[in-house]
Chain A
């Protein structure tokens, strides 16, 4: 009964409900602007809500979090510039839709599916948090490493052109992620003796450069072309559309919850894994993936919003952050005199149920704000390109700087912007670069931890993999996916094509 009351607190207290709405609204916009991150907004809120009670502070933060994860999809669809890392996969099929003038439909589906994914995440949090967090804790360094390898193998599904170019881009991303002081031994890697490089390259800066600046540069080719008018008459998708994607979205939501609950992985990885999953299970998409497939929108958006609920699982049950935002919220709870940890759920169950309630409220507001106020957003894309592109470039500069307050990140962002421009022109996919950067630390750190734990013995390492059911499952998945990536068909096609070329010549 107390649990129900705590759950309902946010709905029956007008002030809390208002803050939740305000937070979600702000979150959607924070998420949509590349460089303004939810992590940043929430950490600023800590000093801002310092003197408040704990409930209003949490309601506001959760609103921003939920709205922000969703908001990243807006700019991904409309401008091909993901507002947040978790929306990278959304751009792959969302932007092709916007180019056809179907941005309204894309955003509508995205919103409803984000809402659905969010609900799944919250439901799992409310019903199975202790169980899931025990499961998440079981992940050993070698399991994280296998998970990272699994992620790296997505290169194939993110690069539709030449696989060699995709592999190059992915490996390049891994190298970018390794720049700086190695976090385990403080050895300098790829710093070339520059102090500024010891801080590494922020992957948000890479993302903004590769997606934002390079897109803007490319669009300069066609600056005088007429702007595409977006149809926004039909935003709310019909029930039959939702029903059609229900099975897929349940699968991708589960991916989101699990990845979100794992400490150290979040919505960005979840969305990419979900995109890959959708690509594998969808037999006959109405449109090809990468060309505006609805499944390619549904999968990452359900997964990244489900990951929000997932991230709260280890936080509420164990005091262990599921991602960067929940890490800051733990700090906020400390400041408000609570001690987040395994005892929180036992000593203060009200707090847990209040968090669940706030998540539900924020999720509902997200649906509301997502389906309304679209006109303003589409106006942004319909702005004359001559004003839009200088603005995007400037926003990219500010955004890259804002991540770590480092001017070096601005240089990197600009450098990667120009480099990404050439990569696009010559048919190199950019998705794998970001994938590599995201997974670099996960792969490197955990590989080293795993092999150190086995005293540098590969034999003992494989023994460990085979003897643990979890590791074995992941290992088998890695092998299967690797085999499925070997481009038998493409090789065959190339052989036949060469033969026909010979005939022509």
Chain B
């Protein structure tokens, strides 16, 4: 009992002095997931974090905090202490908050711990659509203006970026954009025939394509995907797409700006170890994601470039609410 009291006192003493970096972590780490349970960000985070925990020798308790297209979670973590005990587990879209008028903060208020993986967009159509590839679809749109129903997921989502690319390259498309709250429901609607075409991340569509419930029209990348070797890449239809690709959504773990560098390094190392685990590799490959494992300066550069490219692309296509210039996002060098 005496020993218990002593240790309890020691534990309390630790609180008052604050944790020292060498001993990090001395308590549970809170990981705030930007999206709801069962989503792809949630699945990725819950599958990699247990491996990273082992490498770190600490506990990371994950909680989902949804709302405001992820802005609520982002602002919550940004407001918190920069001590490495509150982390943000998110996807790419916060980089577009500013130009979409959804928030004043983005990843520039954070330090990237690790960028885990990135996805590839693919354009899919319902199985009985009267065209089999991208060129056929374009011809169909020209012949039947205002008839094609294309799924969307709100401003700044993957479909909006793909649409921006298509508008920039092919000129204004006369299609109906039907909005859904996520690519899952949209792909369900595609199989039911409520929409005709949907730009989606490969991982969400791959099982449907394999089963012939939907067909892939084009892969939005410069080289063919190993999971869909027969589907032509978009650049084979129109070379002009090359200037925007490769592009894709990604997942990452972030800490608020000002978190001690050695704490960030410790976490980065733990996650670098975690993503090597064969289970995680298998999961990512099965869903058509490319593992990144980027951290430090390299990750910072990736984020900056991604934001510049996408923000200006959306702005030039007339899909952004505010100009990237307002936030000092430089136009990418051509």
Contact = CB atoms under 8 A, between A and B. Distances in A.
Given A140-B192, A327-B38, A405-B64, 20 more contacts: A46-B46, A47-B62, A51-B50, A137-B191, A141-B189, A181-B67, A184-B179, A199-B68, A199-B72, A263-B188, A328-B37, A328-B38, A334-B286, A335-B283, A340-B207, A343-B210, A404-B65, A449-B179, A449-B194, A453-B178
A453 B191 CA distance: 16
A324 to B, nearest CB: 7
Contacts, number: 156
Interface of A: 39-40, 42-43, 46-47, 50-51, 137-141, 180-181, 183-186, 195-196, 198-200, 263-264, 314, 318-321, 324, 327-328, 330-331, 334-335, 337, 339-344, 346, 404-406, 445, 448-449, 452-453, 455
Given A337-B279, A405-B65, A50 B38 contact: no
Given A141-B189, A327-B38, A342-B213, A186 B72 contact: no
B149 A198 contact: no
B210 A341 contact: yes
A140 B178 CA distance: 12
Which of the listed residues A319, A344, A445 has the most CB atoms from chain B within 10 Å of its own CB?
Answer: A319
Interface residues of B, number: 55
Contact of A186 (B65, B69, B282): B69
| Closest CB pairs A-B (n = 3) | A199-B67, A341-B207, A342-B211
A139 B188 CA distance: 10
Interface string B43-83: 10011011000000000001111111101100100000000
Given A331-B43, A337-B283, A455-B146, A184 B192 contact: no
Given A47-B49, A138-B192, A184-B154, A324 B68 contact: no
A477 to B, nearest CB: 20
Interface of B: 32, 37-39, 42-43, 46-47, 49-50, 62-69, 71-72, 75, 100, 102, 146, 149, 154-156, 176-181, 184-185, 188-189, 191-195, 206-208, 210-213, 279, 282-283, 286-287
A448 B67 contact: no
A47 B54 CA distance: 13
Contacts of B206: 339, 341
Nearest to B155: A186
18 contacts: A47-B49, A50-B50, A141-B194, A186-B102, A195-B72, A198-B67, A331-B42, A331-B43, A335-B43, A335-B46, A335-B283, A339-B287, A341-B206, A343-B207, A344-B207, A406-B65, A406-B72, A452-B178
Which of the listed residues B38, B71, B211 has the most CB atoms from chain A within 10 Å of its own CB?
Answer: B38
A406 B76 CA distance: 10
